[in-house]
Amino acid sequence: MKEYTPELIRNIAFIGHGGSGKTSLSEVLLFTAHEINRIGSIAEGNTVSDYSQNEIEKQISISTSALHFNWEGVKINLLDTPGYTDFVGDVKAALKVCDTAVMLLKSAEGIEVGSELTGSFINEYSLPSAIVINKVDNEHSTFFETYEKAKKRLTSGATIITFPTKEGINFNSVIDVIKMKMYEYGEPGSRKVNITDIPNEYLDKANELRTYLIEKVAESSEELMNKYFEEGNLSEEEIKSGLKSSILNRSLTPVFALSATKAVGMNNFLDFIANYFPSPKDRGGEEATWTGRNEKVLVKPDQNGEPVLFIFKTVSEQHVGELSFFKVYSGTVKAGMDLINQANNKTERLSQISIINGKNRKEVPQLFAGDIGTVVKLKDSHTNNTLASKNFQVTITPIKFPDPVMHGAVIPKAKGDEDKIANGLHTLHEEDPSFIVKYDPEISQTIVSGQGELQLALAVKRLKERYGVEVDLVEPKIPYRETIKATVNDVEYKHKKQSGGRGQYGHVHFKLEPLPRGKGFEFVDAIVGGVVPGRFIPAVEKGIQETMAKGVISGNKVVDVKVTLFDGTYHTVDSDEMSFKIAASMCFRKGFLEAKPCLLEPIYEVEVKVPEEYMGDVMGDISGRRGKILGMDSDGSFQVIKAHIPLAELYKYSSQLRSLTQGRGIFKTKFDHYEEVPKEIEQKVIEEYNKSKEEEK
C-alpha cells in the first residue's frame, strides 16, 4: 500500500451552512477518484460520510467524517463536517487539523448564517481557504451574484477559478481560467469529461477573469508585481508558484462552480487541490508548548522527527470501543509504538493504526507527519490530548470549543442509576468537549449544556443506547437570589432552652439594611461593653451566613444584606456558641421577613444575529420573553440585536430562534446581573417552594 510523505498530503475540511451539499460533494469526489464504485445519496441513507443511524434517520451530518482518496499521486484527506449549528464543536475540531478550509455556498441562497459563523473560524485559525459555489444546477442559481457577496462579506481575496457556461437545470460545463479550457461533464456516474477550447461567447469573460487572477497572483510578491508591471504578463511557472503562495498567505481564496448532484466541475476542483492547495510541509509546522514549561516550540511536519500526534475527535462505537481520530504533527507513527500522553503523563500503546472512510477502516503499519488516521482502545487519552515521544515532550494547543447556548437538567427515571448516568455523561463529554456536564450544588441538579436542543437530545439517546439508563431532560431550576428592600433598625431574638442540667441561652439585637446590588454580605460587630462576649461573635456571624445560604422565603441564597449586631445578653453558664448561632439564625429570619424581602433573578446579555427580514419577529419574541433591547447593529445583510433577557425565559431559545429564522439565526449569551423579579412571578416561585416543603413533610 502506498505511503504518503508530508508534501504529498492535502488535508481539507468541508464547512458551511446545513444543506449546502458537503456530504453529497464528498460522495461524488470519492467516486470520481475511484475510491467507491457507486454514488450514494442522503435520501437513501447510503453515503460513506453519514453512516450512523441517527444521521440516516435525520438526513443531516451529526459528526465529522474522515475520508481519504488519491488524486494524481496526492493523498487527499477530507473532513466532512456537520452544518447544523448544534454540532459546531466538530467543525472547530476539523479546522484545527486541516490545512485548507473549503466553504460550500448554495448558488441560489448565497451567504447564510452558518457560512459566516464557520467563516469566522477560518480567520480564528488563520487558515488558507477556498470557496465552492455548489448547486449551480438549481433553477434559481446566481453564481456571479453569490461570488460578489462572498467577496464582500467573507473574503476580499475571493477569485474565480472555474465559472459556469449556463446555470440552472442545463448546467453541465465549466470554464477553467487557469487552463483556459471548457470542461463538459457527462451524466453523473459516467466520470466522462470532454475538454475543448472556450467558445467565443465566453472568451471575453474568461480573459477578464484570468487577468484578474494574474493580478491577484502578482500581488503575492514584489518580484512578481514588478515583472507584471514591466511585461504585462507572467509565465505559467510564475502563475503556478504565485498562486500557491497567494493561497498559503491567505491573500487569495479560489472560487469554484460545482454541482454535487450532477457531478459537474469535479475534475477541475480535484486537479486544483492536488496542484495548488498547501501540504502540511508548505504550512511549515504547528506552534506548540514544551510540556510543563510555558515556552513555545515549532513542531515541524518532518517524517524523520520525533513522533507527535494530536487527538482531535473521539467516538465510541459498538463492537469497536473508543476510536480516536488523530493528526500526526511530527515523525512517523507506527503500530505498536508507545507514546506519552502529555496531559496525564501516562504511556499509551498504539495497537492498531487505521485510515478511514466513513465507518470503513483499513489497517496501516505506519503514518507519516501530516497524515490523519485513527487508533482504537487508548486507555486514558481523549479529544484535545497530545501523545508524544519521551524525547520530545510537547503539547499541541488544544481546540477551543464554543461556549454553550443551551442547558438542561438531567433527572434519572430510576433510582440507583446515578453512578451509571454520571459515568455515561462523563464519557460523552470526553467524546465531544462541546457537550458540558456539571453538578450545580446551589440548585442540586446535574446540568448538561451544549450548542442546541438536538445535541442534548442525542446525548440522552446515547445514554440509553450505550449504558441502558433513561433520563428526563428538564428545564433547570433558576438560581434566584433573595434580598431585602427596607431597613429594620431593631430586630431581637432570644433563644432560651432549659431541660434539666445545663441549658441554652443566646440573645441578640440586629439591624438589617439592604446593600447595593452585587455587594454580597457585610457583618458589623457593634457590641459595646461585652454584652455579647467576643468569643460568641463568630458563632453569630456563622448562624447568619448558614441561614443566608439556605434562603428564607424561597430556598434561594440571600445576597446584598448588611447585618449589624449591636446588643444582646448572655448567661454565664448556659450561653455557648451553639446558642448564639441559633439565636442569630432565628433573629435574621425574623428581621428578613420584616425588611420587605424580594426575589432577584439572573439576567443574561444575549446577542442575536439574524437576516434583516426576520428582525421584527425576533424582536417581538424577545419582548415576549420580558427582554429589554439594548441596541442594534448591522453586519453585512445581518442585523445584530443586543438584549437583556431573564434566564427563566431562555430555556430552548435556540430552537425557537431557529424556527423563527428558518435556521438562519444564531445567538450567544453571557450572565450580566441580577434584578428584581416581577411580583406575579415571585409569588409563583414562593408558592412552589412552600408546596415542595409541605410534600417533603
SS (H, E, C) 61-118: CCCCEEEEEEECCEEEEEEECCCCHHHHHHHHHHHHHCCEEEEEEECCCECCHHHHHH
- Return residue ranges of the chain for CATH 3.30.70.240: 600-680
Give the pLDDT band (50/70/90) at residue 203.
Answer: very high
Could you please report the per-residue DSSP string of 481-506?
EEEESS-EEEEEEEEEE-SSSS-EEE
Nearest residue to 376 (alpha-carbon basis) of 406, 413, 410, 348 = 348
Helix axes 653-660, 615-624, angle to 10 degrees: 150
Give the pLDDT band (50/70/90) at residue 697.
Answer: low
pLDDT at 274: 96
pLDDT of 63 strictly over 90: no
CA 211 from centroid of its chain's CA atoms? 40
Which grid cell is 246?
A: 497567494
With cell 446515578, the residue in question is: 418
pLDDT of 499 strictly over 80: no
Kindly list the distances between the CA atom of residue 648 and the CA atoms of 371, 625, 627, 644, 652, in Å, as whole numbers in the listed order. 47, 9, 11, 12, 10
- CA 151 to CA 95: how far, in whole Å? 21
Asked if residues 310 and 291 have their Cβ atoms less than 8 Å apart, the reply is no
pLDDT at 638: 81
H-helix or E-strand spanning residue 25: helix 22-32
* Average of per-residue pLDDT across 237-244: 88
Tell me the pLDDT of the chain averaged across its residues.
90
Q: Is the dihedral of CA 174, 179, 185, 190 positive or negative?
A: negative
- Return residue ranges of the chain for CATH 3.40.50.300: 8-283
Asked if residues 109 and 44 have their Cβ atoms less than 8 Å apart, the reply is no
pLDDT at 410: 93
**What does CATH list as the number for 482-595?**
3.30.230.10
* Average of per-residue pLDDT across 615-640: 91
Give the pLDDT band (50/70/90) at residue 227.
Answer: confident
Give the pLDDT band (50/70/90) at residue 278.
Answer: very high
- Return residue ranges of the chain for CATH 3.30.230.10: 482-595
- CA 456 to CA 407: how far, in whole Å? 8
pLDDT of 104 strictly over 80: yes
- Higher per-residue confidence, 540 vs 241: 540
* Average of per-residue pLDDT across 242-268: 94
- CA 576 to CA 574: how far, in whole Å? 6
pLDDT at 160: 96
- Higher per-residue confidence, 434 vs 47: 434
pLDDT at 54: 64
Nearest residue to 376 (alpha-carbon basis) of 455, 318, 453, 462 = 318
* Average of per-residue pLDDT across 684-688: 92
Asked if residues 495 and 507 have their Cβ atoms less than 8 Å apart, the reply is yes
Q: For the segment 462-487, what is each residue's pLDDT rounded down to a tens digit?
A: 888 888 888 999 999 999 999 999 99
At 24 the three-state DSSP class reads: helix
The count of residues in the chain is 697
- For 600-680, which CATH class? alpha beta
Kindly list the distances between the CA atom of residue 215 and the CA atoms of 104, 212, 228, in Å, as whole numbers in the listed order. 25, 5, 8
Nearest residue to 260 (alpha-carbon basis) of 19, 22, 67, 25 = 25
Q: Please report, as a single letter, which amino acid is at residue 530.
A: G
Query: In the 3-class helix/strand/coil scheme, how is 611-671 assigned residue by residue?
Result: EHHHHHHHHHHHHHCCCEEEEEEEECCEEEEEEEEEHHHCCCHHHHHHHHCCCCCEEEEEE
Q: For the segment 330-373, what is each residue's pLDDT rounded down to a tens digit?
A: 999 999 999 999 999 999 999 889 999 887 889 999 999 999 99
The fourth-level CATH superfamily of domain 286-396 is Translation factors (2.40.30.10)
pLDDT of 119 strictly over 90: no
* Average of per-residue pLDDT across 636-647: 90
* Average of per-residue pLDDT across 550-577: 93
* Average of per-residue pLDDT across 95-122: 88
CA 157 from centroid of its chain's CA atoms? 27
Residues 6+ apart with CB under 8 A from 365: 334, 335, 353
* Average of per-residue pLDDT across 134-162: 93
- CA 372 to CA 63: how far, in whole Å? 16
Half-sphere exposure of 279 (CA within 13 A, CB side): 19
Asked if residues 303 and 290 have their Cβ atoms less than 8 Å apart, the reply is no
- CA 545 to CA 541: how far, in whole Å? 6
Helix axes 537-550, 577-594, angle to 10 degrees: 50
- Return residue ranges of the chain for CATH 2.40.30.10: 286-396
Asked if residues 75 and 104 have their Cβ atoms less than 8 Å apart, the reply is no
Which grid cell is 545?
A: 451566613
Give the pLDDT band (50/70/90) at residue 125.
Answer: very high
pLDDT of 95 strictly over 80: yes
Query: In the 3-class helix/strand/coil scheme, how is 193-251 assigned residue by residue?
Result: EEEECCCHHHHHHHHHHHHHHHHHHHCCCHHHHHHHHHHCCCCHHHHHHHHHHHHHCCC
Considering the entire predicted model, what is its pTM? 0.85
* Average of per-residue pLDDT across 195-208: 95
* Average of per-residue pLDDT across 661-666: 81
Could you please report the per-residue DSSP string of 400-412?
-PPPP-EEEEEEE
pLDDT of 430 strictly over 90: no
Asked if residues 600 and 677 have their Cβ atoms less than 8 Å apart, the reply is yes
Nearest residue to 109 (alpha-carbon basis) of 130, 83, 81 = 83
Asked if residues 159 and 253 have their Cβ atoms less than 8 Å apart, the reply is yes
* Average of per-residue pLDDT across 586-597: 96
Share of the chain above pLDDT 90, in %: 65
Lowest average pLDDT, out of 112-121, 126-135, 396-405, 576-585, goes to 112-121
- Return residue ranges of the chain for CATH 3.30.70.870: 406-474
pLDDT of 128 strictly over 80: yes
pLDDT of 113 strictly over 90: no
Which grid cell is 331?
A: 515523525
Per CATH, which fold does 8-283 belong to?
Answer: Rossmann fold (3.40.50)
Q: Is the dihedral of CA 323, 367, 97, 20 positive or negative?
A: negative
Per CATH, which fold does 406-474 belong to?
Answer: Alpha-Beta Plaits (3.30.70)
pLDDT of 649 strictly over 80: yes
Nearest residue to 670 (alpha-carbon basis) of 608, 607, 604 = 604
pLDDT at 36: 81
With cell 505506519, the residue in question is: 366
At residue 55's C-alpha, the angle toward residues 52 and 60, to 5°, is 150
Lowest average pLDDT, out of 108-112, 243-247, 248-252, goes to 108-112
Nearest residue to 325 (alpha-carbon basis) of 90, 168, 510, 540 = 90
- CA 252 to CA 106: how far, in whole Å? 21
